Amino acid sequence: MSDRNPADVPPGEGQEISLPPEVKLLQEVTPPFFPEGGSAMTILVEWPPGHPGLPPHRHSGPAFGYVMEGALRFEVEGRPEQVIQAGGTFWEPGGDVIHYQDGNASADAPNKFVVTMLCAPGQPMLTLVDEEELRERAHLRAPRPSDG
């Protein structure tokens, strides 16, 4: 066993440690890719009751999130819409995949969540998707609850 502090171990050198009971693993995902030369960005989003979230968009790299308060309506291309309650996690692959919804699922309570995004160098954190592309890719969207 090494007497080095785990924080002093260079990345990739790997040293397995046991987490204390106060530390709870919430999500473990292998990103589909990490943009070469990319960076990570963590944001806090606070939507008021009923806020629809951002319009359809995509991220240049994978994104990983945690809902702190309320309920998040979350939908990415190819996956059914879901509502994630406080304490729940979510992720999306980024790249070419469209992120359709990230709004507050409640009409009477606020929603707060944290997202860490892996961003490709020289590209914005997110880009909006226009109506024409949404029509062209409609066949890739999972059936909506209202599609009945």
The string of pLDDT tens digits covering residues 13-43 is 556 678 788 888 888 888 777 778 889 999 9
Rounded CA gap, 47 and 106, in Å? Answer: 10
Per CATH, the homologous superfamily of domain 32-120 is: Jelly Rolls (2.60.120.10)
The string of pLDDT tens digits covering residues 74-133 is 999 999 999 999 999 999 999 999 999 999 999 999 999 999 999 989 888 899 999 999
CA 31 to chain centre: 11
67 pLDDT above the threshold of 90 = yes
